[in-house]
Copies of this chain bind each other. A is one copy, B any other.
Amino acid sequence: MEAEQASNEKRIITMKDFLSHISLDCVVFGFHSNQLKVLVLQMKTTSTWALPGGFVYEDESMEVAASRVLKERTGLNEIFLHQFHVFSDPQRSKQNPAVPDMILAGVTFPEKSWFEKRFISVGFYALVEFSQVNPQPDELSDACEWINLENIGILMLDHNEILQKALETLRMQLTFQPIGYNLLPEKFTLSELRKLYETILGKELDRRNFQRKILAYDILTRLEEVRQGVAHKAPALYKFNLVNYKRALDEGLQGRW
């Protein structure tokens, strides 16, 4: 009963422990059975959606702050986030819906003017198998949901631009680094791998060209097994050759010059 009363009281969040002018935003792409979604929060009692973002404590690196913010705001833990771009347009906080006043419902910020400063935001992205994580909204949000890329509407501030840049970065990454480990089951067919690429790229790929290119990179091991229970010819199963996969992550798919 006492605990319940306490939780109804307005919580004082003090911003003085955060660095001023600096924020971060996380673009978490979720893949599952040929769908690509983005994790977004609906700000409390508003119709405004936003990427999960937050601020940096005095004693944190950006990477540590990004992991903490993602966990606090969405419940997602131990996600490897990549820095991809710094967003610093001086007008960025004036775009689209700004941070809504209603975000403050239930929370008292004693330093409201702190928010009115200009923020430079460091963008982080990750790609996860979305059926394996369980997002939970924080106290600033009414919802924390996976939304299909094509159904993302207007987001808060410049978050549409941040999302777009993350998507371009992810797509460029496909041209020089391998992808798929932790997203596909351990054993998969070439069609299943191609569909992962098609989903991220948002377009169909030629089956033969894809097969030729991906096999040339030498990151796959063909297994003796075939996919059971498929009509017609049973397709071969593959798994990643993790030594070569790791090397291709470090050196690029083309290998060193």
Residues of A within 8 A of B (CB): 19-22, 56, 58-63, 83, 85-86, 88-90, 118, 120, 122, 172, 174-176, 197, 201, 205, 210, 213, 251-257
Contact = CB atoms under 8 A, between A and B. Distances in A.
B88 A61 contact: yes
A90 B59 contact: yes
A161 to B, nearest CB: 13
Say whether chain A's binding surface is mostly helix, strand, loop, or mixed: mixed
Nearest to A21: B19
A90 B60 contact: yes
Given A20-B21, A175-B257, A63 B90 contact: no
Given A21-B19, A83-B86, A86-B83, A251 B175 contact: yes
Nearest to A209: B257
Nearest to A255: B175
Contacts of A205: 257
Contacts of A213: 254, 257
B120 A19 contact: yes
A15 B257 CA distance: 46
Contacts of A253: 175, 254
Nearest to A206: B257
Nearest to A89: B61
Contact of A257 (B60, B62, B122, B210): B210
